[in-house]
Amino acid sequence: MKNEVNGLKGIGTFPAFPVVLVTVRNNIITVAALDFFSFEPPMMGVGICPDRFSYELIKEDQDFGINIPTKDMIESVEFCGLNSGRDVDKFNATGLTPMEPTIIKSKLITECPVNLECKVVKELYLSSEFSATHDWFIGRVVTAHVDGSYEKTQALVYWAKKYRTVSDVFSTTKI
């Protein structure tokens, strides 16, 4: 038997979403509202709430970095998700090292094994149209940096207050 529930409870049933550190200018924000929008050209979108400091920066600068943190970086992930760049320099506070980007203006994070450089190509202002919680910034991934020893099992996923790592591959698709 299935119970009919509201839409938010429906969304809440998803197991988890990747959690990343998004860099905008010199600031870092923890983000779980993240998805790819196109393989070619490669595009990724991030959902940012209008009250975030990063929101002002991304609107102004029109670029951002997506940095994949690993399990051992969990304290920094929490810190960047609980503190605002309006009050604190998160690079200083976490000890994370800024990495120079190749193309965009926003800094990247050295300790993250993967860094994507994204230029905003589309903005979806769902907050003004629907009073939605998140607005979406879709960026073209103009270049990326990947550590040779990176494995996907190191990346973090998050949902409903729980951090997890992704589990083993149990099957492959013929698609």
Ligand X SMILES: Cc1cc2nc3c(=O)[nH]c(=O)nc-3n(C[C@H](O)[C@H](O)[C@H](O)COP(=O)(O)O)c2cc1C
Quote the least distance from Cβ 57 to ligand X, whole Å.
Answer: 8
32 binds ligand X (CB under 6 A): yes
* Cβ-contact 160, 168 below 8 angstroms: no
Cα separations in angstroms, 174 against 96, 102, 167, 171: 40, 36, 20, 10
For ligand X, the binding residue among 21, 25, 54, 118 (CB under 6 A) is 54
85 binds ligand X (CB under 6 A): yes
For ligand X, the binding residue among 83, 111, 119, 140 (CB under 6 A) is 83
* Cβ-contact 104, 117 below 8 angstroms: yes
Q: Which residue has the tokens 């997890």?
A: 164
16 binds ligand X (CB under 6 A): no
116 binds ligand X (CB under 6 A): no
**Identity of the residue numbered 112:** C
Cα separations in angstroms, 50 against 81, 127, 157: 15, 8, 23
Region near ligand X per CB under 6 A, out of 41-49, 68-76, 108-116, 143-151: 41-49
Which of 27, 106 has the CB closer to ligand X?
27
Number of residues that bind ligand X (CB under 6 A): 20
For ligand X, the binding residue among 21, 23, 53, 113 (CB under 6 A) is 53
Displacement of CA 172 from its chain's centroid (Å) = 26
In angstroms, rounded to a whole number, what is the distance separating the alpha carbons of residues 98 and 96? 7
Residues in the site for ligand X, rule: CB under 6 A? 19, 27, 29-33, 47-49, 52-54, 81-86, 158
